[in-house]
Structure 1
Amino acid sequence: MRSLNLDQLRTLVAIADLGNFSAAARALHLAQPTVSLHISELESRLGAQLVVRGSRQVAPTAAGAALIERARHLLRDADEAIDTVKRHAKGHAGRVRLGTSTGVIVHLLPQVLKALEQAHAGIDVEVSILGSNDTMARLAAGTLDIGLVALPQSPVRDLVVTHWRNDPMRAFVPPRWKAPKVATPKWLAAQPLIFNDATTRMYRLTMEWFAAAGQAPRARIELNYTEAMKSLVAAGYGAAILPLEDSSVPAGHDQLQVIPLRPALTRSLGVAHRALSSLDGATRIVLGALGQFRQH
């Protein structure tokens, strides 16, 4: 037996509610022969009489009343399913997968998520802690929707990367060290250092800064977690070169020395995603929220 037809069930419910075929046809904007056809096809498909046709009123049979009760639930579920899909399509609801580094998650992303929650509470942002290389790879593979990545990035087919913000780099120095007012490559190269992992863009940016001054320091330890690096600096283990982000010095480490670099160094971040025409509404809404915090 073929599956039940929701339009035919809707017609049956309308007849039960309004009492006759003519009223149901008007309410559903159907021709009366179409209403009659819906009921006859339902009865034929189910092998049971569903309504008793009177001169003025139509009443459901016992079988018809049982079907009408179930039909009301089915139609309500169908309407809710359609509404859910429409909300997703319009960006009023949905799940968006975003990848970025720990520093961005701790210091920059919360303000974006707060604004998004206030304006679009139905959108859930699933955040993954990833380096820029992994983020770009997952975007290309379709397992992420948006990435906040270090710039510059090599072009990747079907991905769009636009500038989001610049953050000045600073030397984070233990509180008890005797440090200069500005940190040069030569001075830092003579200190014990904590670097980002060698696979990261931050490591490359830092090493290029040293190399331009003829320095090639080695790190005491390499990490890929900004807050852990700051904790080691606070403990006196070494100095680190990190971006200065909002509320950059973690609680309990407010005595860290944060020193400008000479020459200056800047970390740039971009927003990466697939072409806008291929994105769902929720992803476009999240991109819009990120755009509100873009540095122009």
Structure 2
Amino acid sequence: MALNYHQLHIFYTVAEKGSFSAAAQALHMTQPAVTMQIQSLEDYFGTKLLVRSTKRIELSEAGRALMPYAERGIDLMRETESAMARFTHMLEGRLQLGASLTIGEYVLPRLLGPFGQQYPHINIVLKVMNTAEILEQILHHQLSFGLVEAAVQHPDMVMEPVMQDELKLIVPAEHPLTQQGEVYLREVLDYPFVLREKGSGTRQVMEEELTRLQVDLDLVKTVMDLGSTGAVKSAVEAGFGITMLSPSSVKHEVALGLLKVIDIKDAAFRRNFYSIHLKSTLLPISAVTFLDFLRAQKLPL
């Protein structure tokens, strides 16, 4: 028998999950099939890799020695798929992903067309939901991966930056600040703000940058906290205040002359968009190809 990557992947997943049943669920395999592959791997090395107890699977000394090599093998396979994805043009299949609100409503729609022209046989099913819902659906194997606006810390997840974005000041078309090409942050804080709700990725980026600049958040005169980007835009159009949003989300309103995008000279509200997926699951080549396509794109700032 020859050593193969599939068995190393199964071994790594069992060690990570701490049980054969949890690993089987994560790998979409039956528990007996997982057990058989581990036994084959132990037969190959001639030693026990896992210590089976009533409560949890633990690594033997040999298993602990194998673990970093298994992890490196998984990383190398991911890198290999990523490197080869750009040469693959006849991909087929159904790619199901989740995206948080700004990405799903304003960024991806204009990119799906060009991707579809390049890879016409990949059928993308996009669910737009908040980050917590995306995380939950990935953990329950209802989504292959997700795209989110803020970093997610979870022991079972791989998180990688795929795109960069920058929030800009958004004001009504006739606002006094439009008389200047650029403004200073101190000028901006003189005006009332309409913002996304606390806990949203957009609000988090704004508050983190203000904190970094040692600006007291109480100086931000927030007159409305709203639960969607669309609601924020409508309130700003109506003259209730100014806001911070991604330029991608206001392209239509700017083109119609309803809103203006203004640069702030002494502050930069930059953020990454991240992909997240389970550590124990290798992404299909279609997903790797889609993420590489996104990395090659530039958002309008």
TM-score tier, shorter chain, comes to 0.5 to 0.7
Matches within 5 A, 1:203-282: 203-211=203-211, 212-216=214-218, 217-245=220-248, 248-250=251-253, 253-261=256-264, 262-275=266-279, 278-282=282-286
Distance 1:221 1:121 in 2: 43
Matches within 5 A, 1:57-96: 92-96=91-95
Output the CA distance in 1 between the equivalents of 2:149 and 2:124: 20
> If you compute each CA radius of gyration, which structure gives the higher value, 1 or 2?
1
Query: After the TM superposition, which residues 146-157 of structure 1 pair with which residues of structure 2 at under 5 Å, given as runs?
Result: 146-154=145-153, 156-157=154-155
1:173 aligns with 2:171: yes
* Residue 171 (structure 1) shift: 0.8
1:162 aligns with 2:160: yes
158-167 vs 206-215, greater mean Cα deviation = 206-215
Identify the residue that residue 125 of structure 1 maps to in structure 2.
124
User: Residues of 1 paired with 2:151 and 2:283: CA distance?
Assistant: 23
Whole-angstrom distance in 2 between the partners of 1:104 and 1:188: 26
- The answer to whether the 8 Å contact 2:196/2:225 transfers is yes
Q: 1:275 to 1:194 in 2, by over 3 A?
A: same
Q: Larger deviation: 191-200 or 126-135?
A: 126-135
Q: Distance in 1 between matches of 2:282 and 2:259?
A: 46
Opposite residue 96 of structure 2, the aligned amino acid is R
- 1:265-292, CA deviations, whole angstroms, 9 ceiling, x for partnerless residues? 2122122223496333443343343343
CA distance in 2, matches of 1:275, 1:294: 27
Contact 1:123 1:282 in 2 (8 A): yes
Contact 1:234 1:253 in 2 (8 A): no
C-alpha deviations, 1:69-109, integer Å up to 9, x for none?
A: xxxxxxxxxxxxxxxxxxxxx98333222222333234321
- Displacement of 1:242: 0.8
Distance, in Å, in 2 between the alignment partners of 1:130 and 1:218 is: 29
Listed one character per residue, the Cα deviations across residues 100-139 of structure 1 (whole Å, up to 9, x for unaligned) are 2333234321343123322332322121222333323332
Contact 2:254 2:261 (C-alpha < 8 Å) held by counterparts? no
Structure 1 distance, partners of 2:249, 2:203, is: 21
For 1:193-247, what per-residue CA distance to the aligned partner results, in whole angstroms no more than 9, with x for missing partners? 1111212122122223334212422522222332332232122121110122387
Alpha carbons 2:191, 2:221 under 8 Å: kept: no
User: Are the equivalent residues in 2 in contact too, given 1:243–1:266 (CA < 8 A)?
Assistant: no
Letter in 2 for 1:204: Q
For the aligned residues, what is the CA RMSD? 3.0
Partner of 1:26: none
2:251 partner SS:
coil
C-alpha change, 1:162 and 1:100, in structure 2 (3 Å) is same
- Tell me how far apart the structure 2 counterparts of residues 226 and 113 of structure 1 sit (CA, whole Å): 21
AA matched with 2:125 = E
- Which consecutive unaligned segments of at least 5 residues does structure 2 have? 1-88
Gaps of 5+ in 1: 1-89
TM-score by length of 2: 0.58
Runs (4+) of structure 1 exceeding 6 A deviation are none
CA distance 1:174–1:291, shift in 2 (3 Å): closer
3-state SS of the aligned residue for 2:202? helix
Q: Is this contact kept in 2: 1:176–1:236, CA < 8 A?
A: no
Aligned equivalents of 2:227 and 2:205: distance in 1? 14
Aligned pairs (5 A) from 1:41-60: none
